[in-house]
Structures are given as structure tokens and as C-alpha cells.
Amino acid sequence: MKKFSLVTLIVIVTAFIFTFTLSTPPTAHAKKLTFVTIGTGGVTGVYYPTGGAISKIVNKKRNKYHLKVTVESTGGSVFNVNAVMAGDLEFGIVQSDRQYQAWHGLKEWKDKGPQKDLRAICSFHPESITLVAGDDTGIWKVEDLRGKHVNIGNPGSGQRQNSIDILEYKGIDYKKDLKAEGLKAAEAPKMLQDGRIDAFFYTVGHPSGAIKEATSGRRKVHFVPITGIEGLLKKYPYYAKAFIPIKFYPMASNKKDVPTFGVKATFVTSAKIPAWIVYAITKEVFDNLEDFKKLHPAYSILTKKNMLEGLTAPFHPGALKYFKEVGLIK
């Protein structure tokens, strides 16, 4: 009797496992997860949380798309364009002006030529060229940077060329007229607070962790207004007037919003990335835009319409399919 029950039990359990395995949709087991990575910027910038916001929204639908989006901290825009073009990263967040330069083969891409596989998806928050200086340095306008110790940005960053553009426009040669550093943005706030640099440039959305860190230490610091730039805006059509909202940085010495110029953060990929992946990411971000916007205060002004502005490279077919489907593009 005892033996019979054991045999029966084994038979029942085996039959159950067999039936259960066969009745489960094979796709749920067989579909392999596809991993894609977004290149962002320093962890105290806004690109890094933006990558995080995209992955959070898209990864919720993992069972639908079998897609997992991960985020990588990088040196910034120029690094991201090059990594996406080399196939090391699938997606990148890049400044609108760097997207323009890469597509046309200018500035950092002068030797490599136009990056014809670059594809646009959408744009995100505005970024402003942010110049922070110690109150004790006597730097109150760009011209005062002469002879000073200034971080203009690491070579992979977007801000490096922005710093060079404004310095040149004001007649300052960064190689001769100041002591230029090429540090990553995440390192600059501590250097400023420690008195090892006088000022730094960072092209970033607001609020950003790096700027909070730079403005809330013991050394009193301020934002340097960047004005008298009409000629610069004429020369470079991708630059526009912008300002730094002071409400985010109550410890900075400035009392009012600070005028400067700016660009937009944009989302790019390569023509080689399959349309279904780009479609899924675009759809999830746009369909859930209200949830997405809650993930960072810099997104408060985003609308589905203005997220299609500031792009130079052609839309990726996966993004275009979605925009046509919902009528954002006719």
C-alpha cells in the first residue's frame, strides 16, 4: 500500500510537470532578452538620470518587448556620438549642437567626415552653458577669465566646444590666454570648492547635482552672466538665448536668473539599430510622457511637440513609424 502511494505520487507529479511545461506559451521561455545601452554623461549631470528615466519607463514592459535598457555613465555628447557610430553603444544622449556638427562632419568630426548613420529619435530638456566662478576670483564676465585657471571640459564632453566658441568670440585663446583644464564635469565642483580652479563651464540642464554641489560648499560662488552674444547666435544657428533658473541654487551668490545661451539635449541612435527596438522605446516614452516628466524637474516644459525640435539627423525609421501612427508627423 505504501509502495503504491509513492508510485502514484511520482506519476501524478511527473504528469503535472509535463502538462504544465507544455501548456506554457513557448515564447515566454524561448524569447531571449535583448539588451541595449544608452550612453549618458557624468552621474551628477542630467543625462544620467534621463537615461535612467527612459530605462525605467521601457523596462516596465519587459514582458511585452523582451527588451532591457541599461544606462552607462560616459564622458558626454562627443563620446556618445562616437560610441553609437562605432557600435559600442546603441543609444546616446547628445547636445543638439553636437548632433548638428556630427551630421555635417564639422568641428570634432572634421577629420572623420559626416556621420551619415546618425539617426535622431527626439529631444529632451534645454541645457544652458553654465559658467560658475568663485566670488573671490574677480570673474564677473567672460572677459575676466583671461589668465585664470578654468575647466573648459573633457574632450568627450559637449561643453568643451561651447566653452571654446564663447571664449573665441570674446577674443580669448584658450590655449594661450588662460590655464585651461580638461576635467570631467563631475570632478569640477570639488576642484572649485577646494580652490584648485577659479571657474568651470558645464553645459547642463537645471537643476543638476554637479551645480548644486558647486554652489553649496564653503567657498562662495556665482554664475557668470554670458551676454553680448548676438554675433555668436548669428554665426551658430543652433545656439539660442537661455538662462539659469536661480531658484534651484539658493546658495549661489546671484539673486536673479542668469542670462546665457543654450542648446537642447537630444536622443540619438544609429541607422543600424532595428526599427522594432527604436519604435518600442519611442512609444513607451511618448505614450507615458506624463509619468516620464515626473522623473526630473528639468522635464517640466516638455511637450510631445517640442520634443521633435532641435534635431538635425534624419529620424530613425522606428521613431518615425510611431510619430506617424499618432499623427505627430503627417
Report in angstroms how near the CB of residue 118 gets to ligand GLU at its nearest: 15
Instruction: Pick between residue 46 and residue 214 the one whose CB is nearest to ligand GLU.
Output: 46
Pick one of 96, 101, 130, 203: the residue that binds ligand GLU (CB under 6 A): 203
- Rounded to a whole number of angstroms, the minimum distance from the CB of residue 329 to ligand GLU is 26
- Neighbouring residues of 307: CB distance < 8 A, sequence distance ≥ 6: 122, 123, 124, 286
Select from 259, 215, 204, 273 the least CA-distant residue to 34.
273
Instruction: Output the smallest distance, CB 176 to ligand GLU, in A.
Output: 25
Of 90 and 127, nearer to ligand GLU (C-beta) is 127
Q: Do 34 and 68 form a contact (C-beta atoms < 8 A)?
A: yes
Contact status: 127 vs ligand GLU (CB under 6 A): yes
- Containing H/E element for 286? helix 275-287
Helix (H, G, I), strand (E, B) or coil at 170: coil
From the list 59-67, 140-148, 152-160, 279-287, the region that binds ligand GLU by CB under 6 A is 152-160
Binding characters for ligand GLU, 162-201, by CB under 6 A (x = yes): ----------------------------------------
Residue position matching grid coordinates 524569447: 31
Per-residue burial over 272-284, b = 16 or more CB atoms within 10 Å of its CB, e = otherwise:
ebeeebbbbbbbb
Q: Examine residue 38 and tell whether it contacts ligand GLU (CB under 6 A).
A: no
- Residue 52 binds to ligand GLU (criterion: CB under 6 A): no
Q: Which of 36, 38, 46, 142 binds ligand GLU (CB under 6 A)?
A: 46
Cα end-to-end span (Å), the chain: 76
Contact by Cβ (8 Å): 239, 97: yes
Do the bridges between strand 118-134 and strand 258-270 make them parallel or antiparallel, or are there none, so unpaired?
Answer: antiparallel
Which residue reads 531658484 in cell numbers?
247
Choose which of 37, 77, 123, 193 interacts with ligand GLU (CB under 6 A).
77
Of 39 and 225, nearer to ligand GLU (C-beta) is 39
Shortest Cβ 209–ligand GLU spacing (Å): 9
DSSP state of 256: S
Q: Which of 36, 38, 39, 45 binds ligand GLU (CB under 6 A)?
A: 45
| Alpha carbons 83 and 89: distance in angstroms, whole number | 5
76 scored as a contact of ligand GLU (CB under 6 A): yes
Residues 41, 91: Cα–Cα separation, whole Å: 12
Residues that bind ligand GLU (CB under 6 A): 41-42, 45-47, 76-77, 95, 127, 157-159, 203-205
